[in-house]
Amino acid sequence: MKKLALITIILLLVQPEGHGWGFRAHQRINRIAVYTLPGEMFGFYKSHIDYLTEHAVDADKRRYGSKDEAARHYIDLDHFGVYPFEAVPRNWKKAVERLSEDTLQAYGIVPWQVERMYYQLVKAFKEKNTPAILRLSADIGHYIADAHVPLHTTENYNGQLTGQHGIHGLLESRLPELFDTEYDLVTGKAKPFDKPLDRIWTAVLSSAAAVDCVLYLERQTREAIPVDRHYVYEQKGSRTVKAYAVEYAGDYHKRLHGLIEIRMRDAIACVGAFWYTAWLDAGQPDLDQLEKTVLDETEKQKLAEEEKLYRKGVIQGREESY
Ligand SMILES: [Zn+2]
């Protein structure tokens, strides 16, 4: 019995943490984005708000089963030069021609992932395919949210190049977990745009513009707080996890002057804008007439399989925790 308890504890200790925004932030972003939608879309999205919330993190779970998945969540722009990264063509075909597809897969493809999913979502709306609309809405929400995280646009994504190992989880999981109840995430109504690719590149570039700042400010916190007060061991449900101390996180959060709140709010506005524009692009189908079915059988099986791999915790590609 004792041995079993010990094994359980060890298993619980090694359970994977979230990647990209923490799971909670991803879920909040998709959930609040529903409230930005116009009346013709709101009823349908509101009736599926729990699905969109719960499945906001499917894309991260897929990273445990597929080696191609990781690259869809980021783009290491600084590998290609300095802001505004003119060496990287914004258009996929041109980027492949200039930099090669292998290189792009190695350094990340988030803007093009969002663009590709946008057209899939338009198609799903045209076909009035409820399971596809919901799956794609949840997934595109995830990738758009990732594109709003500054550390998803740099090679130094976990501070590993500047002695700041662990900053990834601190910035996008720990800080929102501790402080997001204070955030004002109301963004107003979703604003449609002309070109999906331009819209997502705007988001990616504003993330990239904040990279130096988030790294610099964390170095200040690192220097201001004695090293023995950087971490604590916390109980999370039945797990014990190493986490940045509240004092440390609070100091850093203060120095960031609302940056996380702004990035989350921008992410919410952007997710709403993508859902809304895709629906407009599809000719504004009447969503109230759509089937209420959420998932078909094959999709259910696929998700169960991904969940299993995720539980095993074998991540493919980039690892961003401590
Ligand atoms: Zn992600």
Q: How far is the CA of 33 from the centre of ligand 1 (A)?
A: 17
- 236 sits in which H/E element: strand 231-236
Predicted local distance difference test score (pLDDT) of residue 16:
40
The listed CATH number (3.20.20.150, 3.40.50.1000, 1.10.575.10, 3.10.20.30) that belongs to domain 2-220+258-312: 1.10.575.10
User: For the segment 240-251, what is each residue's pLDDT rounded down to a tens digit?
Assistant: 888 999 999 999
DSSP state for residue 232 in the 8-state scheme: E
Q: How far is the CA of 265 from the centre of ligand 1 (A)?
A: 17
Mean pLDDT of the residues in the chain: 90
User: For the segment 91-146, what is each residue's pLDDT rounded down to a tens digit?
Assistant: 999 999 999 999 999 999 999 999 999 999 999 999 999 999 999 999 999 999 99
d(CA 199, CA 201): 6
How does residue 4 score in pLDDT terms, banded at 50, 70 and 90?
Answer: very low
In percent, how much of the chain has pLDDT > 70? 88
Closest CA to 278 of 129, 153, 173, 110: 129
Q: How far is the CA of 2 from the centre of ligand 1 (A)?
A: 37
Residues sharing a CB contact under 8 Å with residue 225, sequence separation 6 or more, in sequence order: 245, 247, 248, 251
Q: How far is the CA of 78 from the centre of ligand 1 (A)?
A: 19
pTM for this prediction: 0.87
Q: How far is the CA of 124 from the centre of ligand 1 (A)?
A: 22
Q: How far is the CA of 73 from the centre of ligand 1 (A)?
A: 5
Q: How far is the CA of 141 from the centre of ligand 1 (A)?
A: 10
Ranges of each domain in the chain: 2-220+258-312
How does residue 18 score in pLDDT terms, banded at 50, 70 and 90?
Answer: very low
For residues 188 and 37, is the Cβ–Cβ distance under 8 A?
no
6-24 burial, b for 16+ CB within 10 Å, e for fewer? eeeeeeeeeebbbbbbbbe
d(CA 167, CA 163): 10
Selected residue with higher pLDDT from 289 and 299: 289
